[in-house]
Amino acid sequence: MKICPLYLNGDWLVSSPFEQVINPATGEAIAQVSTIDRARVAQAIADAHEAFQSWRKLTGKARGMFLRAIADEIENRSTEIARTMTLENGKPLAQSRTEIAFAVDHLHWFAEEARRAYGRIVPQQVDGKRHLIIKSPMGVVGAITPWNFPLVLAVRKAAPALAAGNTIILKPAEQTPLSAIALAECVAAAGLPKGVFQVVLGDAPEIGQEFLQNPLCRKVTFTGSTEVGRILIAGAAQTVKPLSLELGGNAPVLIFDDIDLDRAVEGALAAKTRNTGQSCIAANRVYVQRPIYEDFLEAFTARMKSLKVGDGLEKDVDIGPLIDDAGLTKALAHIEDAVARGARALCGGKRFGDKGFFIEPTVLADVPDDALCTQEETFAPVAAISVFDTEEEAIAKANDTIYGLSAYAFTADLDRAFRLAESLEAGTIGINDGVPSTSICPFGGVKQSGWGRELGSEGMDAFLETKHVSLGLQI
């Protein structure tokens, strides 16, 4: 079986013990990946600190050219990377290709932003002073990423961190390290100086603590569960380490009776089933206005039934496997719980096949507010649908959660669209849009969905310190 090294200070290191990577479509091991201990992670931080001394001195334009070179390397290898991503994550090949294109777009966006780390000059209040606000890179960044978008979420952190003049150490999820290693291969081929970008793997809590406690690591950026986010916040309290956190979601979809039914069905379907429902912005609760409720259920169920389930490497597959047995068990438990509380299962509801971790696309109607699948992320192609009467009631239901990453609404009424945009408690709001993410706009959560924003110009700012320089002048 293939043994994969880690990328440390410009070298490839094979180091045991190895961690197995499993193909979720078959349950079989596909590779073994090296791991390192906490002391070696501390060495990586020291090397990154050393590399920072010269990387920070490059112009934004020069750093942007490196990012473009990484993007070119990813594009050149996109066929191979897409296959790797599908093998380790399970997502349909076409969606792996979309993720790669999105990662390339992130790199281009931040290559451009590298030239725009603007400060400002503030008019003086007293004679003989001038005030400059300047932006400086922070230093070594520790990044921890999840398995559901193994390339794009790593690039979403690495590209702005590097563009801003920082160096970065990436700790990918143990389920999907191969995409991160592929990214390291592209970084190496693009000729970035040693130590500027590194990939580590090992005991996740220990690596997290090293990032938090090591004084040379100046920022930790994380995408993952709210549970682990809370652990990082607790750890950061000791060293007052700046954190960016993109945590869990529980996205509502509000469908009003003035919208064209097909448009609402397709939008909700995209928001629900993309990445086999395993996205932190996936539609988790669908609320439909009473006059179109039964028609929506019928049309939506027909579309869910038409989706092809299978190994992501097969042609025209829409729904791949869930990431692992725990993911499958959780989704099945959510279905059982909803049905026990009175929900109607309109399609699906069971495990699909007998190998890997597949589930049938499932539609649950009349799901009560206290069902597990409306309280927590189901992270599966399981749609929990219920009815509402008024806009006020819909907004109250949508906001009745500790999370606030994304929300969706389908309506033809412009006034209502603005009322919703202003009252829905979420960092991203898709109005008649089931796929709202883009490199050029900020992404992040309100409430317990996280701190800070990625992407857009805000995504760069997350990796820059703002300094005030006060100049005393005799003029």
173 binds ligand ADP (CB under 6 A): yes
DSSP line for 282-305: SEEEEEEEGGGHHHHHHHHHHHHH
Q: In angstroms, what is the minimal distance from the CB of 147 to ligand ADP? A: 6
Q: In angstroms, what is the minimal distance from the CB of 172 to ligand ADP? A: 6
Residue count, binding to ligand ADP (CB under 6 A): 14
376 binds ligand ADP (CB under 6 A): no
For residue 465, count other CB atoms closer than 10 A to its CB: 15
H/E run at residue 203 = none
Q: Which is nearer to ligand ADP, 154 or 424 (CB)?
A: 154
233 binds ligand ADP (CB under 6 A): no
146 binds ligand ADP (CB under 6 A): yes
- Which x/- pattern, by CB under 6 A, does the window 328-367 give for ligand ADP? ----------------------------------------
Name the residue among 333, 70, 357 with its Cα closest to residue 189: 70
Q: Which is nearer to ligand ADP, 228 or 319 (CB)?
A: 228
For residue 230, count other CB atoms closer than 10 A to its CB: 13
Please work out, in degrees rounded to the nearest 5, the angle formed at the alpha carbon of residue 347 by the alpha carbons of 345 and 352. 115
Kindly tell me which residue out of 92, 139, 142, 224 binds ligand ADP, with binding defined by CB under 6 A.
224
Q: In angstroms, what is the minimal distance from the CB of 249 to ligand ADP? A: 11
Beta bridge partners of 345: 364
228 binds ligand ADP (CB under 6 A): yes
**What's the CA gap between 412 and 417, in Å, rounded?**
8
326 binds ligand ADP (CB under 6 A): no
Q: In angstroms, what is the minimal distance from the CB of 173 to ligand ADP? A: 4
Q: Which is nearer to ligand ADP, 174 or 433 (CB)?
A: 174
204 binds ligand ADP (CB under 6 A): yes
395 binds ligand ADP (CB under 6 A): no
74 binds ligand ADP (CB under 6 A): no
**Footprint of ligand ADP on 455-474 (CB under 6 A):** none
238 binds ligand ADP (CB under 6 A): no
Kindly tell me which residue out of 231, 233, 270, 307 binds ligand ADP, with binding defined by CB under 6 A.
231
174 binds ligand ADP (CB under 6 A): yes
Q: In angstroms, what is the minimal distance from the CB of 232 to ligand ADP? A: 6
Pairing mode, if any, of strands 344-347 and 243-246? unpaired
Cα-based distances in Å from 110 to 58, 63, 71, 104, 457: 15, 10, 11, 10, 9
H/E run at residue 313 = none
Specify the residue for token string 């000791």.
Answer: 238
Full 3-state SS string of 233-275: HHHHHHHCCCEEEECCCCEEEEECCCCCHHHHHHHHHHHHHHH
Kindly tell me which residue out of 191, 193, 205, 291 binds ligand ADP, with binding defined by CB under 6 A.
205
Q: In angstroms, what is the minimal distance from the CB of 203 to ligand ADP? A: 9
Cα-based distances in Å from 5 to 19, 41, 149, 178, 207: 11, 14, 21, 10, 17
398, two tokens: 């949508």
Q: In angstroms, what is the minimal distance from the CB of 334 to ligand ADP? A: 15
Specify the residue for token string 């086999």.
Answer: 276
Query: Segment contacting ligand ADP (CB under 6 A): 140-148, 283-291, 314-322, 387-395?
Result: 140-148
**Footprint of ligand ADP on 13-42 (CB under 6 A):** none
Name the residue among 422, 467, 428, 461 with its Cα closest to residue 446: 428
Active site amino acids = 246, 280
What are the residues binding ligand ADP (CB under 6 A)?
144-147, 171, 173-174, 204-205, 208, 224-225, 228, 231
